[in-house]
């Protein structure tokens, strides 16, 4: 243990004595670690934020949407989910506590909203009263519409806070009337603020009763909806999914061997799909910028070989005083390792600061987030570089003959 501490002290003293050279030697390591941490912090900050959004959907919610294989799309045969599918799932599938349709209206006139002289555009979505329970969002002011509002197709709505700001409505907007397309709509509730994601507002929407949205879009049109359900028992989620799948296949007249014309997804599946993409981007990006770590390692090996040559007489004296090969090997190996670890520490600090700066400069981009595994991986890689590229100079120093070393000029 004494030899280890003495080797560390000697390494720090050598680094201090040649401060500028040590800085230039560690520059490759610093740049490499900075690049890795900066990339990982930005990508993982995005992943952390979006995963939090998915978590808000609830682990026991299911989303059913239509799906058309590419071959059928070319034939112009587009699959759709209709009101009848919603009714069948509601009536025939047990273990569901809440179910809601989700109807996304088209852009253009359907998304145009106005208040007095102010005009804007928003996402106009028709939903059922159970939408809030399924998705875990609630009004911060006023109320949400009821089943009676939906049944009577009342022109009431709940809006995001950005709608109020864009149309320059009074802060207490509950009770105000504004135009949605060609219809006047009364605000009965304001949904709690969720902020921005990747520069896109999550609070720019108008929620209408499902029946009202169909009325605005035109009852004669054949609409494609999504269906969201909340499963009572999360342990029975796969069972409920399988029953919904079999019921919809039978209703749509799909034969054995034909692919489903719909998709059933959970919040976890959506999150896993997103994480797969994010992890691939992180791995590829980190792999590319890690090349600079290898370049830094080669630089460290070259400088350590020069250091061995400069300190040949010192090595001879140490061996003459009784130092073993293991002592010399340990001394130079720890010096290389200390050099890389210091470079790694500086790189982590600069990388996090750079990632936070870039994330702050991008409008609406999530804050940078550095997971512990990224820091540990960076230090582990630095340690590996120090050992791998320091072993050759250390071995060369350990194998020097003490007589020849003392004669060296």
Query: Which residues, in sequence order, are bridge partners of residue 231?
Result: 96
Higher pLDDT, 333 or 114: 114
Highest mean pLDDT among 115-124, 260-269, 371-380: 115-124
| Packing angle, helices 291-310 and 267-289, rounded to 10 | 40
Q: How confident is the model at residue 231 (pLDDT cuts 50, 70, 90)?
A: confident
Query: What pLDDT, on a 0 to 100 scale, did the predictor assign at position 158?
Result: 92
Q: Of the candidates 296, 291, 286, which has an alpha carbon nearest to the alpha carbon of residue 29?
A: 296
| Lowest mean pLDDT, pick from 239-243, 322-326, 342-346, 378-382 | 322-326
Q: Of the candidates 29, 3, 40, which has an alpha carbon nearest to the alpha carbon of residue 330?
A: 3
Query: What pLDDT, on a 0 to 100 scale, did the predictor assign at position 151?
Result: 87
Instruction: Give yes or no for residue 108 having a pLDDT over 50.
Output: no
Q: Per the structure block, which two tokens stand in for 200?
A: 């896109």
For the whole model, what pTM was predicted? Answer: 0.61
> For the chain, what's the residue count?
409
Task: Indicate the domain borders of the chain.
Answer: 2-53+276-407, 59-267
Query: What pLDDT, on a 0 to 100 scale, did the predictor assign at position 267?
Result: 66
For the residues 394-407, what does the mean pLDDT come to? 71
Angle at 248 between CA 244 and CA 249, to 5 degrees: 115
For the residues 347-364, what does the mean pLDDT come to? 81
> Under DSSP, is residue 228 helix (H, G, I), strand (E, B) or coil?
strand
Query: Taking the CA atoms of the chain, what radius of gyration do you get in angstroms?
Result: 32
Q: How far is Cα 345 from Cα 287, in angstroms, rounded to an integer?
A: 19
Residue pair 226/101 in contact (Cβ under 8 Å)? The answer is yes
Instruction: Give yes or no for residue 55 having a pLDDT over 60.
Output: no
Instruction: Give yes or no for residue 171 having a pLDDT over 80.
Output: yes
Residue owning tokens 């949400």: 144
Q: Of the candidates 264, 250, 232, 268, which has an alpha carbon nearest to the alpha carbon of residue 56?
A: 268
Query: What pLDDT, on a 0 to 100 scale, did the predictor assign at position 156?
Result: 92
Query: What pLDDT, on a 0 to 100 scale, did the predictor assign at position 188?
Result: 93
Query: What pLDDT, on a 0 to 100 scale, did the predictor assign at position 359?
Result: 77
């Amino acid at each position: 243990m004494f030899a280890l501490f003495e080797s560390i002290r000697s390494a720090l003293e050598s680094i201090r004595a040649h401060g500028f050279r040590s800085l230039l030697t560690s520059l490759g390591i610093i740049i490499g670690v900075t690049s890795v941490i900066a990339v990982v912090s930005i990508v993982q900050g995005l992943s952390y934020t979006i995963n939090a959004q998915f978590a808000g959907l609830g682990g026991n919610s299911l989303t059913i949407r239509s799906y058309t294989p590419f071959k059928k799309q070319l034939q112009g045969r587009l699959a759709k989910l209709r009101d009848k599918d919603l009714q069948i799932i509601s009536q025939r599938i047990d273990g569901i506590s809440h179910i809601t349709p989700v109807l996304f209206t088209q852009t253009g006139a359907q998304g145009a909203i106005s208040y007095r002289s102010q005009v804007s555009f928003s996402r106009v979505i028709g939903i059922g009263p159970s939408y809030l329970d399924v998705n875990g969002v609630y009004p911060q002011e006023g109320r949400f519409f009821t089943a009676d509002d939906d049944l009577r197709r009342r022109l009431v709505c709940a809006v995001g806070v950005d709608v109020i700001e864009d149309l320059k409505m009074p802060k207490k907007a509950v009770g105000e009337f504004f135009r949605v397309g060609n219809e006047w709509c009364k605000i009965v509730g304001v949904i709690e603020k969720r902020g921005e994601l990747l520069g896109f507002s999550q609070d720019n929407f108008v929620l209408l009763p499902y029946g009202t949205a169909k009325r605005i879009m035109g009852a004669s049109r054949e609409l494609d909806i999504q269906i969201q359900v909340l499963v009572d028992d999360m342990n029975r989620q796969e069972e409920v999914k399988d029953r919904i799948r079999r019921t919809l296949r039978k209703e749509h007249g799909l034969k054995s061997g034909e692919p489903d014309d719909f998709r059933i997804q959970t919040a976890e599946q959506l999150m896993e799909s997103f994480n797969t993409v994010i992890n691939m981007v992180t791995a590829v990006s980190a792999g590319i910028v890690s090349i600079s770590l290898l370049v830094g390692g080669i630089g460290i090996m070259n400088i350590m070989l020069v250091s061995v040559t400069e300190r040949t007489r010192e090595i001879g004296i140490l061996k003459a005083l009784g130092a073993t090969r293991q002592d010399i090997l340990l001394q130079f190996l720890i010096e290389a390792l200390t050099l890389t670890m210091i470079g790694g520490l500086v790189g982590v600090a600069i990388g996090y600061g750079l990632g936070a700066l870039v994330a702050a400069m991008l409008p609406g981009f999530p804050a940078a987030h550095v997971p512990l595994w990224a820091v540990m991986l960076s230090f582990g890689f630095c340690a590996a570089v120090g050992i791998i590229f320091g072993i050759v100079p250390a071995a060369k120093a350990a194998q020097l003959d003490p007589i020849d070393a003392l004669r060296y000029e």
